[in-house]
């Protein structure tokens, strides 16, 4: 019940914080003040105005409250302007250089989202539906559990414990990678990203699963411990459908292990 008011407060704080960041840069710049438990200092108010300074000072508190509520799927379904909040957050981040990672990820969580996954080695394809998955580490584990653990493709299947902590069981356990996640254009889809990073092709997110090019491991679990994650296999594509989808993808741009290096080593 309190979600609409909290999200409205978050929007106000983001708008004011964006104004603060612009004013701070326009009046000489320098390190942005780190908000504490008190009120904005005289310099912050003088350089940006009271409301922008208050927005900047309280933004972390609004972030914490909003993320807590966005763990609930009903709240996410009712937050009909998450894209607008994300645009405001991006403006604040770009101007101030400060990161608001939890809020950015929470605003990008997808629910009831269709996903086509193509397993290049077996030349097979699958239609899945994902909900409540906070990052691609979690997605990676659930893809391996659903497709390898389900007997659809060969490879390393996660343990039952690895899959469980990525759905709703509390805690973390070490996991190993089973695939290279690749975008239709051939570029890697990094585990540190989110399912919202997967490109949309013909109205559906499209992901290619290649054999792992190097060994990686991480602490499997949920980016948002209070958020249930799920990945459901709806059906296997027939050969004709599969080939149509393969016509929309390119070979990987380069072996994933040759790019920026240590992705996924610790999660």
pLDDT at 57 over 50: yes
Q: Is the confidence at residue 180, as pLDDT, over 60? A: yes
Kindly report, residue by residue over 12-31, the tens digit of the pLDDT: 999 999 999 999 999 998 98
Q: Exposure pattern of 242-251 as b/e (b: 16+ CB <10 Å)?
A: beebeeebee
Q: What is the pLDDT of residue 260?
A: 41
**Torsional sign, CA 164, 3, 80, 94:** negative
What does the domain layout of the chain look like in residue ranges? 3-107, 113-256
Collapse the DSSP code of 54 into the 3-class scheme (helix H, G, I; strand E, B; otherwise coil) and give the result: helix
3-class SS of residue 207: strand
- In 3D space, the residue among 204, 12, 19 whose CA is nearest the CA of residue 126 turns out to be 204
Burial of 26 (0-12, 13-18, 19+ CB in 10 A): exposed
- Reference 67, options 79, 57, 55; nearest CA is 79
Residue 34 is predicted with a pLDDT of 85
Pairwise CA distance, residues 56 & 34, whole Å: 9
pLDDT value at 258 more than 60: no
- Provide the pLDDT for residue 254: 62
Mean local confidence (pLDDT), 114-142: 97
**Can you give the pLDDT at residue 179?**
96
Give residue-wise pLDDT tens across range 78-88: 998 999 999 99
Q: Is residue 257's pLDDT more than 70? A: no
Nearest to 69 by CA among 15, 167, 1, 165: 1
- Of the pLDDT bands very low, low, confident and very high (cuts 50, 70, 90), residue 35 is confident
Quote the percentage of the chain above a pLDDT of 90. Answer: 87
Q: Is the Cα torsion angle 170, 173, 179, 184 positive or negative in sign? A: positive
Please say if the pLDDT value at position 259 is more than 80. no
Judged by DSSP in three states, 210 sits in strand
Q: Is residue 263 over pLDDT 60? A: no
- Check whether 261 has a pLDDT greater than 60: no
The pLDDT of residue 264 is above 50 = no
Mean pLDDT to the nearest integer, 169-178: 95
């Amino acid at each position: 019940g309190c979600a609409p008011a909290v999200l409205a407060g978050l929007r106000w704080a983001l708008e004011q914080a964006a104004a603060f960041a612009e004013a701070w840069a326009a009046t000489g710049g320098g390190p942005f003040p780190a908000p504490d438990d008190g009120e904005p200092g005289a310099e912050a108010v003088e350089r940006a105005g009271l409301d922008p300074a208050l927005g900047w000072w309280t933004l972390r508190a609004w972030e914490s409250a909003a993320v807590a509520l966005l763990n609930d799927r009903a709240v996410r379904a009712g937050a009909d302007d998450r894209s607008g909040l994300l645009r405001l957050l991006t403006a604040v981040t770009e101007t101030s250089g400060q990161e608001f990672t939890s809020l950015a990820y929470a605003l990008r969580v997808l629910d009831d989202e269709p996903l086509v996954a193509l397993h290049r080695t077996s030349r097979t394809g699958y239609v899945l539906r994902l909900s409540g998955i906070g990052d691609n580490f979690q997605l990676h584990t659930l893809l391996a559990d659903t497709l390898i653990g389900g007997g659809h493709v060969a490879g390393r299947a996660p343990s039952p414990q690895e899959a469980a902590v990525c759905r709703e069981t509390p805690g973390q356990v070490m996991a190993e990678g089973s695939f290279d996640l690749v975008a239709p254009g051939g570029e890697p889809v990094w585990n540190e990203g989110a399912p919202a990073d997967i490109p949309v092709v013909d109205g559906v997110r499209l992901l290619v699963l290649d054999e792992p090019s190097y060994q990686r491991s991480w602490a499997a679990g949920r980016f948002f411990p209070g958020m249930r994650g799920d990945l459901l296999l709806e059906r296997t594509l027939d050969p004709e459908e599969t080939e149509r989808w393969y016509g929309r993808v390119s070979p990987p741009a380069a072996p994933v292990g040759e790019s920026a290096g240590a992705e996924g080593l610790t999660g």
